[in-house]
Amino acid sequence: MNLQTERFKEIARENLANEEQRKILSQFSLILKALRDSSFAALPDENAALEKGRKIREDSVKNMPYLLETFEENATKAGANVVWASDARQANDFIVSLAKEKGANLCVKAKSMISEEIGLREELTDGGIETYETDLGEFIVQQAGKTPFHIVGPAINMTIKEISNLFNKTIGVPKTEDPTELAISARMFLRDKFKNAQIGISGANMAVAETGSIILVENEGNIRFATSVPKTHIVLMSIEKVVPTMSDATHMLKLLTRSCTGQRISNYVSVITGPKKAGEIDGPEELYIVILDNGRTKIYSDEVLRGALQCIKCGMCAAVCPVYTHVGGYAYGWVYSGPIGAVLNPLLLGLDRARDLYHATTLCGACKDYCPAGVDVRNIALDLRAKEMDGDKSFNASNPPVGLKRLYRIWTWVLLHHSRYKIASRLMRIIMLPAIKYGKISRLPGRLSGWTQCRDIPQLPPKSFHEIYSELKK
């Protein structure tokens, strides 16, 4: 996948000028929020359900090492082959060589963000195994050669006309602006692939330690097809997907589908425990579960940052984010977009390569209010900014410029004491004076110019609140 996190500002600027996309994003946000709110309101106690979900995810991540071992034990007992991979290279090499060993030349894939993260489809294709995404949105993205625009709706930004032109070019179907016809075309094209594929690959929405089961959530039936027709099913999951019990999983399921699409439950929920058993008609003969770390153990070892691992990839935070709903998903430059992408991409790629993403966070905290998994993006973004100023090498932050570091030290020193703060604000009033016109500063010089590019800085009032308050008290 073409990594573009370093181009955040540039891509964001381009997307801000895209009126059509801005319209789609604002409708998407309004509709999803309304659907989500009404489905949560149907719960007997919405707040209690959210609290319980957040606790389940917090505890699951905290106890991850033990839960993963239990999961491995129970999945193996159920007949699955469990394989551990420390990084993308190991996971890709294992899956490609397994597919070759099985003599596969065709593979069908269910939507999986972790497979996007490691570029699995491209690796399989390079290894001579024709691979197709089978989720409609992912199929469109694959045909377009793009990255997902949103965690749950990878092609929500594309118009019917664009998709029609694309399908006409790539799968050779007549142009139409009827969405049903377009969906049928993709369906007919993929039906043949499902029937002939030797390998089916899926991710995992959850892995249940208690039973060794994988839970998969979808609306199109493609996951059930991809995991039951091919003889070999490979599950690729990242380590944080594990939850302790089936009861925890079913509770999270309620929150996941409501947050993803505003549905009380998705059209299909598959619980896969081992491969096909004797006497069963459907299902794969072999089940492999690849448990991938890819930098997550390092995140886990930091008590603040580990909160990012609680994410269940519902995508809801994007719909309420003032940044995402303006710049869209491509600006994040990699697999994960929206608030979670703003912290997860830098954690996985290193701060130097993706610092603009968490710099762009407004720290409004709207995402935390809506998050069913208790991820505090604001807190994590602040921690990343602190790590950047410390030049934290464990997350690939280079040493910050000495001048900038000094500036922040002085700033902190001033803000930490009331009398220093008072003197500084009086000084600011005087320093600002020459630049003020009509009660505001509309343009700052040189490197500070970014602050006034889209907004004015209002003149500080002649007296601060504290000064007025002390006068009134007297």
In the complex, the residues that contact ligand SF4 under the rule CB under 6 A are: 259, 311-317, 339-340, 367, 370-373, 375
Residue in 220, 217, 322, 336 with CA at minimum distance from that of residue 272 = 217
The minimum distance between CB 308 and ligand SF4, in angstroms, equals 8
- Select 259 or 266, whichever has its Cβ closest to ligand SF4: 259
- Select 287 or 375, whichever has its Cβ closest to ligand SF4: 375
Q: Where are the alpha helices (DSSP H) in 155-314?
A: 160-170, 179-196, 222-228, 246-261, 296-300
- DSSP conformation letters of 104-116: --EEEE---HHHH
- Select 190 or 342, whichever has its Cβ closest to ligand SF4: 342
The minimum distance between CB 368 and ligand SF4, in angstroms, equals 8
Query: Is 397:334 a contact under the CB 8 Å cutoff?
Result: no
- State the maximum Cα–Cα separation within the chain, in Å, rounded to a whole number: 88
Burial class (CB in 10 A: 0-12, 13-18, 19+), 415: exposed
- Select 231 or 368, whichever has its Cβ closest to ligand SF4: 368
Residues 6+ apart with CB under 8 A from 336: 113, 117, 151, 344, 345
The minimum distance between CB 367 and ligand SF4, in angstroms, equals 6
Q: In the beta sheet, which residues pair with residue 85?
A: 292
| 430-464: burial string, b at 16+ Cβ within 10 Å, e else | eeeeeeeeeeebeeeeeeeeeebeeeebebbeeee
Phi, psi of 21 (to 5 degrees): -65, -40
Q: In this structure, how many other beta carbons lie within 10 angstroms of the beta carbon of residue 350?
A: 18
The minimum distance between CB 71 and ligand SF4, in angstroms, equals 20
The minimum distance between CB 323 and ligand SF4, in angstroms, equals 13
- Select 272 or 320, whichever has its Cβ closest to ligand SF4: 320
- Select 328 or 372, whichever has its Cβ closest to ligand SF4: 372
- Select 213 or 257, whichever has its Cβ closest to ligand SF4: 257
